[in-house]
Amino acid sequence: MRRCRRPAGHAAGIGSLATAGPGHRGRLAPAVDLYEYQGKELFRRYGIPVSDGLLAATPADARRAAEELAGPVVVKAQVLTGGRGKAGGVKLAATPEEAEEEAEAILRLSIRGHPVRRVWIERASDIAKEYYLSVTFDRSAKKALLMLTTRGGVDIEEVAAASPEAIARVHVDPLQGFQPYQARRLVYEAGIDDPGEQAQVEDTIARLYEAFVGCDAMLCEINPLIVTPEGEVRALDAKVTVDDNALYRHPDIAAMRDLEAIPAEERAAWEKGVTYVKLSGEVGILGNGAGLVMSTLDVIALVGGRPANFCDLGGGGDAQGVVDALDVITADPDVRSILFNIFGGITRCDEVARGIVEALRRRTIRHPIVVRLDGTNADEGRRLLAEAGSAGLYVEPTMLEAARRAVELAQR
Ligand code: GDP
Ligand code: MN
């Protein structure tokens, strides 16, 4: 099985690359970051109060949406990155004409590399207060973590750095589940003292936790959770990340994934069923097993090189698997040399060697390829590679020597 996983845009880095659980065959999708309007759709299903709105792809659509919503609206860029407000991607519009103008400007924006392709037109809210509420995983505590602060509307990292005591935190034990007293404690510790607000915020906490579990989310965040001048509590923003390993039980959420937002080379890899993450260096990396590939990245760095990618063949050492992986790696114009690091266990080195030889027969590969084989049938594998006698093929006995060779070849 070959797996595909990309670090989630919201939270994770390459350190969070994880293998998929059992029960999946073939390809897996990257973790799903949802757009605000999709997150709000899920919130709505769980009874969390949100404002009415409509999606628009053109300024004319935005105008019609504003006409339909009748009254002042807010025009919001739909991109998979935060801080849209500061970047000019959230604007109030008093009339449909204004909504059209704002939409036109916002649809021309690219927010931190994310081109705005759609805007969400929402009935404008009056804001008296901005709070922050989220549920995420605290991996060290092995529990879900609820966070609430009355200092919402700004980056939570800023609040955490400047005044960590302002953020109320409560862990939820996965076996006991959420208990209503936990919401009361959060509200009390956050210092929300209006009884009307307390009841609504507590209700929202319970529902957000329900949404988090019900959607197999990794993050559900509302920033800001507003209080209107009339004392009504409502989610004005939504950030939801769903665990890709659970997508098989949420076909509706799987369908929300925006493939166009995934970098082209990662999408190509995903379509071929190759686990691939683009990095910024020159040495293309192929290995079997996520752990071995991670170590290979480290060794490349140790000998002064920079890996061009993470690529895990998994058990797919057959010729087609090798051809597919090489196609993906060589599509990256930054690649100068390629390193195969194979430790044969269940995967047999002779099988991988046959795959490499076959791949070289089927494809002209411009880059030098360094191979390190160890473990099951390594001798046989090395013999097959030697027999192939290909000019750009280098067989090295150890991982360190192979890494040195690959880096040296990349620098030529
Ligand atoms: P973000 O910047 O990407 O987090 O986008 P948000 O959805 O959180 O919007 C940014 C800010 O715009 C919010 O913190 C609000 O202050 C403001 N905003 C958003 N919607 C409304 C609205 O309906 N009325 C008013 N007055 N302000 C809004
Ligand atoms: Mn926000």
pLDDT-derived band at 24, boundaries 50, 70, 90: very low
Q: How confident is the model at residue 365 (pLDDT cuts 50, 70, 90)?
A: confident
**Among residues of the chain, what percentage have pLDDT more than 70?**
92
Rounded distance from Cα 57 to ligand 1 centre (Å): 20
Q: Which residues are registered as beta bridge partners of 341?
A: 287, 372
pLDDT at 355: 86
Atom of ligand 1 nearest to the CA of 85: 2
Rounded distance, CA 6 to CA 20, Å?
A: 12
Model pLDDT for residues 263-285, shown as the tens digit of each residue: 777 778 877 878 888 899 999 99
Could you say which ligand is closest to the alpha carbon of residue 75? Answer: 1
- Mean pLDDT (the chain) is 89
Residue 13 has pLDDT above 50, yes or no: no
Residue 191 confidence (pLDDT): 98
Residue owning the nearest CA to atom 11 of ligand 1:
85
> Mean pLDDT over residues 371-381, rounded?
94
pLDDT at residue 18 is higher than 70: no
Confidence of residue 37 (pLDDT cuts 50, 70, 90): very high
Residue 9 in this model has a pLDDT that exceeds 60: no
Task: Give the C-alpha separation, 111 to 157, whole Å.
Answer: 20
Going by pLDDT thresholds of 50, 70 and 90, the confidence category of residue 30 is low
Q: How, if at all, do strands 73-77 and 129-138 pair?
A: unpaired
Residue among 40, 76, 90, 92 to mutate when testing ligand 1 (max atoms within 8 A of CB): 90
Q: Residue 317's pLDDT is what?
A: 61
- The per-residue pLDDT for range 188-217, each reduced to its tens digit, is 999 999 999 999 999 999 999 999 999 999
Q: Would you please indicate which residues are annotated as catalytic (active-site) residues? A: 132, 221
| CA geometry: angle 119, 123, 124, nearest 5 deg | 100
Does residue 81 or residue 25 have the better pLDDT? 81
Identify whether the C-beta of residue 169 lies closer than 8 Å to the C-beta of residue 136. no
Confidence check: pLDDT of 146 > 90 = yes
Q: What angle do CA 187, 191, 193 make, to 5 degrees?
A: 80
Q: Could you tell me the pLDDT band of residue 261, with boundaries at 50, 70 and 90?
A: confident
The answer, yes or no, to whether any atom of ligand 1 lies below 6 A from the CB of 82, is yes
Classify burial at 105, counting beta carbons within 10 Å of its beta carbon; exposed 0-12, middle 13-18, buried 19 or more. middle
214: its two tokens: 């019900």
Instruction: Give the lowest-confidence range in 98-102, 142-146, 255-259.
Output: 255-259
What is the token pair recorded at 313?
């063949």
Instruction: Taking residues 11-20, report their average pLDDT.
Output: 31
370 C-alpha to ligand 1 centroid (Å): 53
- CA of 398: how far to CAs of 157, 285, 288, 388, 395, in Å? 44, 15, 15, 20, 9
d(CA 172, CA 279): 36
* Distance from C-alpha of 78 to C-alpha of 117, rounded to nearest angstrom: 7
pLDDT at 66 over 50: yes
Give the C-alpha separation, 369 to 335, whole Å.
Answer: 11
Confidence of residue 315 (pLDDT cuts 50, 70, 90): low
63 contacts 96 by C-beta, under 8 angstroms: yes
Rounded average pLDDT over 160-188: 96
Q: Name the closest-CA residue to atom 26, ligand 1.
A: 126
Over the stretch 176-189, which tens digit does the pLDDT of each residue have? 999 999 999 999 99
Ligand nearest, relative to CA of residue 111: 1
Identity of the residue numbered 354: R
Q: 265 to each of 312, 322, 368, how far by Cα in Å?
A: 15, 17, 21
Instruction: Match 């899920």 to its residue by tokens.
Output: 42
Query: Which atom of ligand 1 is nearest to 51's Cα?
Result: 23
47 pLDDT band (50/70/90 cuts)?
Answer: very high
Give the per-residue pLDDT at 29: 45
- Out of 46-55, 59-68, 332-341, 385-394, pick the least confident: 385-394
Cα–ligand 1 centroid distance for 102 (angstroms): 15
pLDDT at residue 248 in the model: 92
Using a 10 angstrom Cβ sphere, with 0-12 exposed, 13-18 middle and 19 or more buried, the burial of residue 312 is buried
So what's the pLDDT on residue 40? 98
Query: To which residue do tokens 């009415």 refer?
Result: 52
- Which pair of tokens denotes residue 387? 């027999």
Rg over CA atoms, the chain: 25
